[in-house]
Amino acid sequence: MSEKIRVLLSEAEVDARIQEVADVINKDYEGKEVHMICVLKGGVFFMCELAKRITRPVTLDFMSVSSYGDDTKSSGVVKIVKDLDQPLEGRDVLIVEDIIDSGRTLSYLLRILKGRHPASIKLCTLLDKPERRVTDVEVDYCCFNIPDEFVVGYGLDYAQKYRNLPYIGVVELED
Ligand code: PRP
Ligand code: MN
Ligand code: MG
């Protein structure tokens, strides 16, 4: 069995849409600094491309989480593998993700990060699969709503591969 990748969103489409979303963020954060938090590993490519287009002062931090087994996953519990380096108190926080799927990862993260008393906290995602949602998550900025297909590229992986593709593709299995 091998995989073939079909292009869903081209590099040009993705880059143009990131610029549009960055323009909105730049307006919304007028007079503010944006403290961007990348959720590793998937969020890293989008974070870089978005941050390059933000014209407000930007600071960056990184967090790594992993889901427990399926049992605890359904209760929305994720384990912090690497916590943020810096406190959030008083900061305008923008969480940057590659995709919101069931919503479990982000509903948990939002809950614990809100507890650290940021001045504000918003969520920006490259992709959203609304039909897969199990846990409600308020998405403030979304580049693309996509159908329920297995996507890779721009940070998204299939068995850790394909994160480096500069476009969003759908994995198609073939013999
Ligand atoms: C993926 C993706 C999101 C999360 C979305 O990360 O990058 O972080 O799952 O799923 P959810 O909405 O159902 O919680 P993954 O756990 O695969 O780690 P990775 O970012 O290192 O690939
Ligand atoms: Mn992830
Ligand atoms: Mg993954």
Question: Is 168 a domain residue?
Answer: no
Residue that the structure tokens 């869903």 belong to:
8
107/104 Cα distance (integer angstroms): 5
- Indicate whether 6 belongs to any domain: yes
pLDDT classification of 5: cutoffs 50, 70, 90: very high
Ligand 1 contact via 128 beta carbon (within 6 Å): no
45 lies in some domain: yes
Tokens at 95, concatenated: 């969480």
Q: Is the CB of 102 under 6 A from ligand 1?
A: yes
Domain presence at residue 143:
yes
Return the pLDDT at 74: 55
Print the domain residue range for 30. 2-159
CATH code of 64's domain? 3.40.50.2020
The catalytic residue among 70, 101, 136, 140 is 101
Per the domain annotation, does 41 fall within a domain?
yes
Is position 17 within any domain? yes
Residue 97 CB–ligand 1 contact under 6 Å? yes
Q: What is the pLDDT of residues 46-89, one digit of tens each?
A: 999 999 999 999 999 999 998 765 554 456 678 899 999 999 99
Report the number of distinct structural domains present in the chain.
1
In a domain, 139, yes or no: yes
Centre of ligand 3 to C-alpha 43, Å, is: 10
Q: 111-168 pLDDT, tens per residue?
A: 999 999 999 999 999 999 999 999 999 999 999 999 999 999 999 999 999 999 999 9
Instruction: State the pairing for strand pair 168-174/151-152.
Output: antiparallel
Is 46 inside a domain boundary?
Answer: yes
- Bridge partners of 58, per DSSP, are 34
